[in-house]
Each structure stands twice: as structure tokens, then as C-alpha cells.
Amino acid sequence: MQINTLRAILVSWVLLAGLGAGATLSDATVRGQISPKLSVDINGYAYDWTNIGRFVLPGETLRLGTSDNANSSGWVASAGELVDEGSATGWVAPQEPGLYPIIVTSGTTVRRINAFVMIPYDSLDKKGYLKGVKIGKYPKPIVEFPNFTKPKGFIVVTPDNLDTPVSPRYTLRDFAPRTMEGFPKYTVLREELLVKLELLTDLVQSRGFKFDRFLVFSGYRPPAVNRRVRYGRNSAHIYGGAADIIVDGNSDGQLDDLNHDGQSNRKDAKLLAGYAEELEAQHPELVGGVGWYSRTRSRGAFIHVDVRGTRSRWHQ
């Protein structure tokens, strides 16, 4: 009874704390970022970030472990089922879509997994509607996007979870479709994209640019929207694996003057795209598309990054 009470208090404390979340692609990708006392293993990958975002299907099992099994408190889940799998702990996701935090502690160190249970892809009807919301029809897989097939599910976005961190610097709001009216909204998001954005943020900051995070002004775009805005049937955005971003350290909504020539234009976008190119050279597991866009009358300059799995470069 005392243990259950302590766990309930711990869950409440962590939920109220609102700690930043993180998600990673691989052990090698993540370990270079920070060196905390407690790392978390999920399905064979080690995560060193304080919080970890994961996107799962109803009934899906995550295999959980830590680097500090002797001293960690053990796993506490807000819902779902924790099962003993010998050398690891299994968490079986609930059947109901939603956000289900899972935590583990070691001393004063806390690790939190923000587990989003998704609506399965098969819930999308033949006309491309998901619970009355127009998503559109997904095209057949193409050779140019080896990492992308139809999504395994859709994340339900509500006013309550919209600002949930999905990585140390970014929240679900950054990737929710801008064109959907009201709630719930539905989005798709890949953990690899979050890793790429976090690592690129670190790289650009290391070059002396002062900003907290990229401004993401386009993340997931449903296929129906993508066609309507004339981006075609195939786009990394429809798979939740792309983001259009700028460095906006002064919060004016425009790409910062990165080359210090007194202007915000295509030269700054090209410079930022160069850093994305450098990142891919360092992390080939994150290879994808990098495009840089010139300023127009309706918008400022920006870059596109994605994790499609093949190298692609362009300029508009």
C-alpha cells in the first residue's frame, strides 16, 4: 500500500513538473548529446534525454530498461500494463488512443516517456476520412522515399496535449497540421525527424548563433492538403518526416540574418542548408532531403529538412 501511494505521488509530481521531452533514433546518435546518470533503453535503443517521445499502436509493447537497474525506482505507468520480461520490463499500450506518460527515477534523476497511443492507419476510410476529418488518400510507396510508407497510425491532438514536449525543444504543436479546424486534430510524426532537428539545433548553436529552437512553420501536411496547395501527391510532409524551419532568434517571424549582411534572404537560407548538409555527413542514418527557399512577397526565406532515407537537394 505504501509503495502504491509513493508511486501515485511520483506520477503526480512528474506530470505537474512538465519536463521537456525527447526522442531519438539510435544509441550512437543520442549518446553524444548529454551524459546524465541514468539512460533509458527502449526496444534496444539507449536514450540519454530527460524525456522521450514515442508513438505506438494500441496493444503495442515497448521493451524498457535502464543503465541503473540496481538503483532505479522501477517503472511507473499512468495506464497500460507493465509486465516482467526477464532482463527488461514490457509496457503494453492501452487500447484507447491518447497520451500515457511512463516514468523511472534514480535518486533525483527522472526520465519520462511521453507515449502517444495512435489511431491505427486502417481507421482511415476509403474516401480518406478519419472520424469525419479529411486526411486524404496515401499514394503507393515510391523508390525515392525508402524510409516512408503509409503511416502506421495517427496521433490524436487535443487542447490538453497540444503543448506536450516531443523532444527537448519541440512540442506536438510544432508538427500539428495548420489547416485543420477545431479539435481533435490528427498528425503523423517520426522520431527520426525529431532527432535530426535536435542535432541540427545543437550544430547551428555551436557555430555561435543565438536561438533556443528552430521555428517550425510546416510539419505534417495531410495528403488532401498537400495536393490542394500544389505540392503533389508525394511529399515527405505527408509521412510526418519533414519540417520547414528557420532560425528566428529575435522572434520576428523571419529567418535571421545569419551571414550578417544586413538582410534576410536566400543567402541565409543557403547557409542554413549547408549546416543541414554537414549534419547528414556526420549522421548518415539521418540522410534525407534538404531544400532552401528564397524570399517571396508572401513569405520569408526558409529551409526544408526530412528523413526520407536518400539524399536529395534542391533550391526554389
Look up residue 298 and give its amino acid: S
Question: Between 270 and 25, where is the model more confident?
Answer: 270
Residue 308 vs residues 196, 244, 290, 302: alpha-carbon distances, Å: 12, 14, 10, 19
What integer pLDDT is reported at residue 17 of this predicted model?
38
State CA 235 to chain mean position distance: 17
What integer pLDDT is reported at residue 155 of this predicted model?
98
Q: pLDDT digit string (tens) for 43-100?
A: 888 888 888 899 999 999 999 999 877 688 889 999 999 999 888 899 999 999 999 9
What span, in angstroms and rounded, lies between the C-alpha atoms of 113 and 102? 5
Give the start-to-end residue ranges of the domains of the chain.
2-117, 120-315
Least confident of 31-35, 106-110, 237-241, 270-274: 31-35
Per-residue cell: 78: 499512468
One DSSP character per residue, the chain reads -HHHHHHHHHHHHHHHHT------S-HHHHHTT---S--EEETTEEE-SSEEEEEE-TT-EEEEEES-TTTS---EESSSEEEE-SSSEEEEPPSS-EEEEEEEEETTEEEEEEEEEPEEGGGS-TTSEETTEE--PPPPP-TT-TT--S-SEEEEE-TTTTT-BSSSS-BGGGGS-TT--SS-EEE---HHHHHHHHHHHHHHHHTT---SSEEEEE----HHHHHHTT--S--GGGGT-EEEEEE-TT-SSS---TT-SS--SHHHHHHHHHHHHHHHHH-GGG--EEEEE---SSS--EEEEE--SS-EEEE-
Share the mean pLDDT of the chain. Answer: 87
What span, in angstroms and rounded, lies between the C-alpha atoms of 150 and 131? 18
Strands 214-218 and 61-66: unpaired
Summarize the confidence of residues 98-114 as an average pLDDT: 92
262 in Cβ contact with 273 (< 8 Å): no
Q: Read off the pTM.
A: 0.85
Summarize the confidence of residues 165-176 as an average pLDDT: 93
What CATH architecture does domain 2-117 belong to? Answer: Sandwich (2.60)
Residue 169 vs residues 141, 172, 198, 207: alpha-carbon distances, Å: 31, 11, 7, 18
What span, in angstroms and rounded, lies between the C-alpha atoms of 64 and 49? 15
Looking at the predicted structure, is the pLDDT value of residue 141 above 90? no
272 in Cβ contact with 303 (< 8 Å): yes
φ, ψ for residue 123, nearest 5 deg: -75, -15
Per-residue cell: 216: 517550425
Looking at the predicted structure, is the pLDDT value of residue 24 above 80? no
Which residues are CB-contacts of 17 (< 8 A; sequence separation ≥ 6)?
A: 110
What span, in angstroms and rounded, lies between the C-alpha atoms of 261 and 87? 57
Q: pLDDT digit string (tens) for 230-275?
A: 555 679 999 999 999 999 999 999 999 999 999 999 999 999 999 9
What span, in angstroms and rounded, lies between the C-alpha atoms of 78 and 14? 11
What integer pLDDT is reported at residue 233 of this predicted model?
65
